[in-house]
Amino acid sequence: MSTIHSKNAEIFNKDRAKTTWHDQTFWALREKHDNMAEQLPEWEELRSHASDIKCHTITHLADYLEKFSANLESRGVIVHWAADASEFNETVLDILKSHNVSKMVKSKSMLTEECEMNPYLEKHGIDVVETDLGERILQLLNQKPSHIVVPASHLKREEVGRVFEQKGISKEIGNYDPTYLTRCARYSLRKEFMDAGAGMTGCNFGVADTGDIVVCTNEGNADMSTSMPKLHIVAMGIEKLVPDYDSLAVFLRLLCRCGTGQPTTAFTSHFRQARPGAEMHVVLVDNGRSDIIADKEHWQTLKCIRCGACMNTCPVYRRSGGYSYTYFIPGPIGVNLGMLHDPQKHSENVSACSLCLSCDNVCPAEVAPGSQIYLWRQSLEALGKANKMKKIMSVGMSVLFNNPALYNTALKFAPLANIVPESITNIGHLNPWGVGHGNPEFAKKSFRRLWREGLK
Amino acid sequence: MNKEEFLNKLRANTTQQFDMPDMNINGIKYEDTIAQFISMTETSGGKVVNAKKDDNLNAIIREVYPDAKVIASNVSGIDASLNPDTVAEAQDLNGTDVGVVNGEVGVAENACVWVPQSMKEKSVCFISENLVIILHKSSIVDNMHDAYKAIHMTDYGFGCFISGPSKTADIEQSLVMGAQAARSVTIILID
């Protein structure tokens, strides 16, 4: 009965103090989002525009990609088309090998996580250095991101400090001050930027009209990664396209306000071509996105701009953490993306949702991740993944609720359940609904009976 | 995969099409746009120094960064020991105490300043310990919609909106200025 998610969540919840801290950390981000939204009277107008622009772009994607790639190529940028993760990884390796690159610095990219690029390149002898502080910490700890925007938020400063000590990045043993640790990382990464042979960035938005690759960071690490090396490789999922600068303005106003509750990231960089004496490559990746377009129920998942707002607000994510889910992207949007990627493998995540739909209400692109999880649950039967116990109960409830006489009789005798000791109904945790819940107490007289008596 | 196959699959899988919405968005306008820009810059961790048209910018920079030894700039009239146009490699700018660049457009809603690449090595904008951006008051707009109508891209094909110093909150959500790029940003706002 228990899903992988619920088992992992149980382990996560063993450290109650840390769970509470995790919950509060992300609720604080949600509150910052609210504060930002309240300052803009046009907030809902921005959301509906974001959704409409994405609907238009996604359903005209081939045309916009042609325009976008032509603009890039007109300025000497080399554009590659990768059908799937392995084509993407091979393309990146080929580019690096043809330039004799042994070390590549990179800024944050969920696409490279999706394609498992780092382990592939490392296997082929490339030293890949993450330069976003959170991603760097995770790389040193050999962990995966637990959130798409703030990837190392599950870690305490002591955990960061200890790994910095082990790796020789921090010299003052026992100094776990975040400012000190950040300075140590700055010093260490500065050396990496100086001698890396290539820099890779993701792409938050591609602008079809101008051929701009737009990358948003707070640290400036995408710019550091591309200002020194003579080779810039962009990893871009095809759904990142927007038509023009007017559209881009809408998304940039929403992205960071929704994600971290800031009015903007510190750096919003626009790359249109290689810097003097350098070379720029853009690898456009499908990896299942063209199949999602054909999915009538779930194609709007492609509107997602990866802001992380749905995770921050999700009561299940906040209390179960990013590692409880089976897909590498957690939270409401991750449940959906996992199902689109491989429903057999990730179907257990769909129960990690209370259907409160808070995510639907904060999503800047109106993806409605919670409503889509509801739809996925309806498809579990067809996937052969429906829970057997729930199925039996559903049949039972159907009989009960479709038979008024039976229902009334059951209701009359329901108070008898009050005298059954909880040690029997909840024996050995056979009843999963008994965990953390007491039995409800049935009233001696039902509402129906009270109503009838009142009428007399 | 070749481009044609890639795009053909996309076209084949697209069964419905939606129009672009009309783009008349009522972007926020501020009563005092300049005051909003200054206040947002300070919130983002930046500093604003007001200057008159004929003020000595070198004196202002000296006053804000009295300990600076290496100044890098290609802005005419700025006393600099390194020039991003003439250094052999981008890496040569490492160790710059203060980089000085021109900003083209300021945005009141979020303190962004558009810095188009106007030097051979853009690393000066990021590698410097401290960054000074020169901006004219008349070029400040209310919001990003207005900003995108006002900005220009140079022939270098790179530009960046910069809002305050480099920052991170990756360790326990505590905000630290100066992650990988400039640790402080000063906007010299010229009348």
Average pLDDT, chain A: 94
In a domain, B38, yes or no: yes
For residue A295, the 8-state DSSP code is -
Checking if the pLDDT of A1 tops 60, the result is no
Instruction: Verify whether the Cβ–Cβ distance B122 to A81 is below 8 Å.
Output: no
Q: What is the pLDDT of residue A396?
A: 84
Checking if the pLDDT of A187 tops 60, the result is yes
Instruction: Verify whether the Cβ–Cβ distance A250 to B9 is below 8 Å.
Output: no
Instruction: Verify whether the Cβ–Cβ distance A223 to B109 is below 8 Å.
Output: no
Q: What is the pLDDT of residue A408?
A: 83
CA distances (Å), origin B180, targets A232, A233, A394, B165, B168: 18, 20, 56, 10, 9
Say whether residue B10 is in contact with chain A using an 8 A CB cutoff. yes
A88-138 pLDDT, tens digit per residue, is 999 999 999 999 999 999 999 999 999 999 999 999 999 999 999 999 999
Q: What is the pLDDT of residue A428?
A: 56
Instruction: Verify whether the Cβ–Cβ distance B164 to A266 is below 8 Å.
Output: yes
Chain B hits for A249, Cβ within 8 Å: 143-145, 147-148
Can you tell me the ipTM of this complex?
0.98
Which residue in B7, B158, B176 is closest to A65 by CB distance?
B7
Are the CB atoms for A75 and A69 separated by under 8 Å? Answer: no
Instruction: Verify whether the Cβ–Cβ distance B180 to A45 is below 8 Å.
Output: no
What range defines the domain where residue B135 resides?
30-166+178-190
Continuous segment of H or E residues that includes residue A215: strand A212-217
Residues 20 through 39 of chain A touching chain B, CB cutoff 8 Å: 25, 28, 39
Q: What is the pLDDT of residue B152?
A: 97
Q: Which portions of chain B are predicted below pLDDT 70? A: none
CA distances (Å), origin A68, targets A282, A413, A433, B10: 11, 69, 53, 15
Choose the mutation target among B117, B171, B175 for the interface with A, i.e. most A CBs under 10 Å: B171
In a domain, B49, yes or no: yes
d(CA B80, nearest CA chain A) in Å = 20
Instruction: Verify whether the Cβ–Cβ distance A133 to B179 is below 8 Å.
Output: yes
Please state whether B130 falls in left (phi above 0), alpha (psi between -120 and 50) or beta: beta
Q: What is the pLDDT of residue A370?
A: 98
> Using H for helix, E for strand and C for coil, what is the string for A345-395?
HHHHHHHCCCCCCHHHHHCCCCCCHHHHHHHHHHCHHHHCCCCHHHHHHHH
In a domain, B47, yes or no: yes
For chain A, how far is it from start to end, CA to CA, in angstroms? 47
Instruction: Verify whether the Cβ–Cβ distance B159 to A270 is below 8 Å.
Output: yes
Say whether residue A97 is in contact with chain B using an 8 A CB cutoff. no
Per the DSSP assignment, residues forming a β-bridge with A212 are: A207
Chain B hits for A152, Cβ within 8 Å: 170-171
- Would you tell me the crossing angle of helices A245-259 and A43-58 to the nearest 10 degrees? 120
Q: What is the pLDDT of residue A402?
A: 87
Say whether residue B125 is in contact with chain A using an 8 A CB cutoff. yes
Checking if the pLDDT of A178 tops 70, the result is yes
Q: What is the pLDDT of residue A429?
A: 60
Chain A hits for B110, Cβ within 8 Å: 263-264
Q: How many CB atoms lie within 10 A of CB A412?
A: 13
Which residue in B44, B179, B182 is closest to A182 by CB distance?
B179
Angle, vertex CA A286, rays to CA A281 and CA A288, nearest 5: 155
Instruction: Verify whether the Cβ–Cβ distance A286 to B156 is below 8 Å.
Output: no
A414-455 pLDDT, tens digit per residue, is 887 777 777 666 665 666 666 677 777 888 888 888 888 887
Instruction: Verify whether the Cβ–Cβ distance A219 to B181 is below 8 Å.
Output: yes
Q: Is the pTM of this model over 0.90?
A: yes
Domain extents in chain A: 4-16+298-383, 40-287, 397-455
Give percent of chain A above pLDDT 90: 83
> Using H for helix, E for strand and C for coil, what is the string for chain B?
CCHHHHHHHHHHHCCCCCCCCCCCCCCCCCCCHHHHHHHHHHHCCCEEEEECCCCCHHHHHHHHCCCCCCEEECCCCCCCCECCCCCCCHHHHCCCCEEEEECCEEECCCCCEEEECCCCCCCHHHHCCEEEEEEEHHHEECCHHHHHHHCCCCCCCEEEEECCCCEECCCCCCCEECCCCCCEEEEEEEC
Q: What is the pLDDT of residue A262?
A: 97
Residues 85 through 124 of chain B touching chain A, CB cutoff 8 Å: 89-91, 94, 109-112, 117, 120-123
In a domain, B107, yes or no: yes
Which residue in B117, B126, B163 is closest to A264 by CB distance?
B163
CA A157 to centroid of chain Cα atoms: 23
Residues 131 through 190 of chain A touching chain B, CB cutoff 8 Å: 131-134, 137, 150-153, 155-157, 160, 178-179, 181-183, 185-186, 189-190
B6-57 pLDDT, tens digit per residue, is 999 999 999 999 999 999 999 999 999 999 999 999 999 999 999 999 999 9
Mean pLDDT of all residues in A204-230: 98
A11-26 pLDDT, tens digit per residue, is 999 999 999 999 999 9
CATH of the domain at B54: 3.40.50.10420
Residue A392's pLDDT band, with cuts at 50, 70 and 90, is confident
Q: How many domains does one find in chain B?
A: 1
CA B121 to centroid of chain Cα atoms: 15
Residues 20 through 79 of chain B touching chain A, CB cutoff 8 Å: 20-21, 23, 25-28, 40, 44
Q: What is the pLDDT of residue A395?
A: 83
Q: What is the pLDDT of residue A314?
A: 98
> How would CATH label the architecture of A4-16+298-383?
Orthogonal Bundle (1.10)
Chain B hits for A46, Cβ within 8 Å: 25
Chain B hits for A227, Cβ within 8 Å: 90, 121-123, 125-127
Checking if the pLDDT of A158 tops 60, the result is yes
User: Which CATH superfamily does the domain covering A40-287 fall into?
Assistant: NagB/RpiA/CoA transferase-like (3.40.50.10420)
